[in-house]
Amino acid sequence: DSGVTQTPKHLITATGQRVTLRCSPRSGDLSVYWYQQSLDQGLQFLIQYYNGEERAKGNILERFSAQQFPDLHSELNLSSLELGDSALYFCASSELGQHEAFFGQGTRLTVV
């Protein structure tokens, strides 16, 4: 168990819908990262939050947004979903930016 908790584990939804993925980092970790893993793109960095503030952005679509709350848990919001958004979404956390990162079990999103 990595200590990073993601919910839900599986999500099936229709095109055009909106979903929220939730992540609780390891106790004491201030950094939260979101990654998307699809078959053709591999593991892609989406966004990083550090202690409640957005710290870095990667290949995140405008239809996607995230935030980190005062208790350090994070949510990734995906809207106007398309078939191509089907993927495994991972949350990771680390104490600081340069420390070892630990990953949650992932949320498998299927858009039908």
Q: Which residues bind another protein (CB under 8 A)?
A: 2, 30-31, 33, 35, 42-43, 45, 48, 50-51, 55-56, 58, 88, 90, 92, 94, 96-103, 105-106, 108
Residue pair 30/79 in contact (Cβ under 8 Å)? The answer is: no
Residue with Cβ nearer another protein (67 or 103): 103
50 vs 81 by CB, closer to another protein: 50
- 111 sits in which H/E element: strand 107-111
Between the alpha carbon of residue 47 and those of residues 12, 15, 72, 90, 91, the distances in Å are: 23, 23, 15, 11, 10
From the CB of 104, what's the least distance to another protein, in Å? Answer: 9
